Amino acid sequence: MEHQLFAEEDVTTRKQVKLVQEGEYVAEVEVEVIESDEGWAPYLSLQDVRKLDAVRKALRDGDLAAATKAARIFRLTPVTG
């Protein structure tokens, strides 16, 4: 007997930009949000979660070259002291 978590037609995806902040940097990471009538929706794919984690680690390590492979990177500038 084969079990299926949800019918394929019940699943929709949409692109969304997630922000990841580490120190003085913010990354815009594009991910696909998965929506379903069943389960814990909305959620991200494992691949997108790993992408977010990789960008966060690269920013934390100061590796902007690695972070820019998967995201747009911005430096935060304080407006007031």
Please name the amino acid found at residue 8: E
The per-residue pLDDT for 59 is 98
**Cβ atoms < 10 Å from Cβ of 59:** 22
The pTM for the full model equals 0.82
Query: So what's the pLDDT on residue 1?
Result: 54
Nearest to 20 by CA among 63, 56, 51, 47: 56
pLDDT at 22: 97
Mean pLDDT by 10 residues, the chain (81 residues): 58 96 97 89 94 98 97 95 76
Q: Look up residue 35 and give its two tokens.
A: 């929506």
What's the pLDDT at 4?
54
Q: Distance between CA atoms of 28 and 49, rounded to whole angstroms? A: 14
Number of other residues whose CB lies within 10 A of the CB of residue 27: 23
**So what's the pLDDT on residue 41?**
86
- In the chain, where are the structural domains located? 8-75
